[in-house]
Amino acid sequence: MNESEQHLGMDHMNMDHDMKGMDHSQMDHMDMNSQDMEHHDMSNMDMSHMDMDMGDGHMMHMGNLKRKFWVSLILTIPVILMSPMMGVTLPFQLVFPGSDWIVAVLGTILFFYGGMPFFSGAKAELQMKRPAMMTLIAMGIGVAYVYSIYAVIANNLFHVTPMVNNFFWELSTLIVIMLLGHWIEMNTVMSAGSAVEALGKLLPQEAHVLDENGKTTDVQLSDLQVGQLVAVRAGEQIPADAKIISGESDVNESLVTGESKAVKKAVGDAVIGGSVNGTGTFTAKVTGTGETGYLAQVMKLISDAKHSKSKSENLADKVAGWLFYAALFVGILAFIVWVTVANLAVALPVAVAVFVIACPHALGLAVPLVVSRSTAIAAQNGLLIRNRNAMEQVNQIKYALMDKTGTLTMGEFKVNHLVSLSDNLSDNDVLALMAGLENGSSHPLATGILTAAKTQNVTFTGASDTHQETGMGQFGTIAGTTYGVVAVNYLEQHQLAYDHDQFTEFAAEGNSISYLVAGEQVLGLVAQGDQIKPAAKQLIASLKHQGITPVMLTGDNQETANKVASNIGIDDVQARLLPEDKERLVKEYQQKGKVLFIGDGVNDAPSLTRADIGIAIGSGTDVAIESADIILVSSDPADVIQFLDLARATRRKMTENLWWGAGYNLIAIPLAAGVLAPVGFMLDPMVGAVIMSLSTIIVAINAMTLRIKTVKDVAQD
């Protein structure tokens, strides 16, 4: 739903005006599938496969990732059965003449097939001079593979027994575990839809273009140009922003504006690309297409902010980067020292052991397991998490910007005052005229007027030639006279006289006020009140307790906004906003700290994606929901509190897992290098393997201790 003021003077706008002042928006992780480009062309908008970020820059398709995991797992089973673990042959393992060569062949296939994504990711990381998880994994499996091939050849062809037979066991398990971790992460990411794809699907494949002789030719949407005439037939999607020059119809704009019922369109009215035509047919002149069209601009906003949201590295990648440098330094240093004090035969296995022990088995699962668990808990409690990065930024949030109508209030208006300002019209006459203008609209203010007319048994005639004027309101013709339902902004802009004291009195009660005008005459007014959601006050109190400053953003008048804000405890109120003002304010507040934004309308999409964390009310429009990081399924403000608490618990579990995943390396790496050799202690490879396995198990168990009570008990606390 949109704000009440947007309905009267701002929501009834053409789409060109809606886009003023908007620049960047975002979508994390996913873009429109390239196959859909052929069907939903947006004039070469930049889209790509729905892929997964494997490291910094390397992308891997979901299907490839799943296939690589299963193939690698199958190949790993015989490797585990026939190769030593950290140089130690276990009782259950199968060792027979030629088993080393079988393991070497399987290990080679695993190395090149299952390990290739990590080498590609490492290459991208090194090109950007930011070695992280992929580089650490690539170093570990690379060193393990080269040494293991050397060990097999030396042992079987030259009958030279190396200190450690081979590391194929470590190589295969590391590849499988890393692929599993990325698959878990990918499933979490891919569970959400794409805002860009949702918008792109609103447009048809082709447009029916009319030439000078009235002949119709079907052209691809990418070839459509501003100024061309297009024929729109019954039931078709409108191909581009346009202005009707002949014909009329009822147009369903719900997927674009959130207005669920059809809007009557006639000659001179603007139509939005992506809207669905009703039973009529019309000819329209294209006013915007490609990058100038409304949907294309919103798509650009959502895509562009992808680069302006969180640019911080994943914490696991940071830890992996530190481990990479630590293992590289310690391994080389240990090799040099042992070559000096002993010989190459001793130094090489020690250096290799350091590099292999540094491989992040548990680290690769530390974050994905917690994210997967957290996402499942959230979904069970009405929170749909579309962007995991949002949860990692909760502790830095300083401001919570939010809508009024539909977010903090119910969006169900009730007429509290109905006043005729004309001697020729009764109160019911004013209500009848307003109802006639608003007939067919499902906007909260329109619904309030229509409900009042029905309750009071007021009969009315639907207006003809209804249309919206930018920044003005809703207009139409009844009995040959043109009327308008407008906000106070319209009266001030056109210098129409009205009773300021009366307006202030009604607005101070928390009412949204609509005026009935005809030409330069103000004929009457209706003041409607909205109900505050029961959990709104609890939300504001909780935000303040957590050190987050709540800010109300509304298109409604200042007096009404102040009344609602006062009732729920908000001190910072921004009222009488145009749709583009919200996104501008998000950017302004971001100069002072990280911002959380809560909204539900299509005009909120850029703000939702611009904010560091965007939360959409589940009853909002599709585009708004698809643009958010978090979706509140029940539309209950209290769920914001649950999300914040769950996010903090998730962050805490991630940190704990990262310590468990990397902590053993802090001890194992120097011990493997022989730092305690002077006192007679060298880390036994078997002990290193046990610690590595225990670390992985602890990480998994710790992730599962993230309980549902973290969310459910919030309301009881």
Catalytic residues: 403
Cα-based distances in Å from 520 to 494, 496, 557: 8, 6, 22
Q: Are 381 and 711 a contacting pair, CB within 8 Å?
A: yes
> Coil, helix or strand for 521?
strand
Q: Give CA–CA dist 461/464, Å, rounded.
A: 9
Q: Are 357 and 139 a contacting pair, CB within 8 Å?
A: no
DSSP per residue, 549-578:
EEEEE-SS-HHHHHHHHHHHT--EEE-S--
10 Å CB burial of residue 588 (0-12, 13-18, 19+) is exposed
Token pair 């369903």 is at which residue? 252
Residue 698 token pair: 């602890």
Q: Give CA–CA dist 565/577, Å, rounded.
A: 16
Query: In the 8-state DSSP scheme, what is residue 114?
Result: I
Which of these, 261, 204, 262, lies nearest to 232 by C-alpha position? 204
Token pair 């610690």 is at which residue? 691
E strands in 177-329: 206-210, 216-220, 229-232, 241-247, 249-252, 263-265, 270-271, 276-277, 282-288
Query: In the 8-state DSSP scheme, what is residue 419?
Result: E
Q: Give CA–CA dist 69/379, Å, rounded.
A: 26
3-state helix, strand, coil in the chain (%, to 5): 50, 15, 30
Q: Give CA–CA dist 426/405, Å, rounded.
A: 30
- Can you say whether residue 587 is alpha, beta or left, with left for phi > 0 and alpha for psi between -120 and 50 degrees? alpha
Question: Longest C-alpha distance within the chain, in Å?
Answer: 113
Alpha-carbon dihedral 195, 199, 202, 204, rounded to 10 degrees: -120
Angle CA(18)–CA(23)–CA(26) in degrees, nearest 5?
105
Q: Give CA–CA dist 158/168, Å, rounded.
A: 20
Residue 403: Cβ within 10 Å count: 29
Single-letter amino acid, residue 29? H
Query: In the 8-state DSSP scheme, what is residue 215?
Result: -
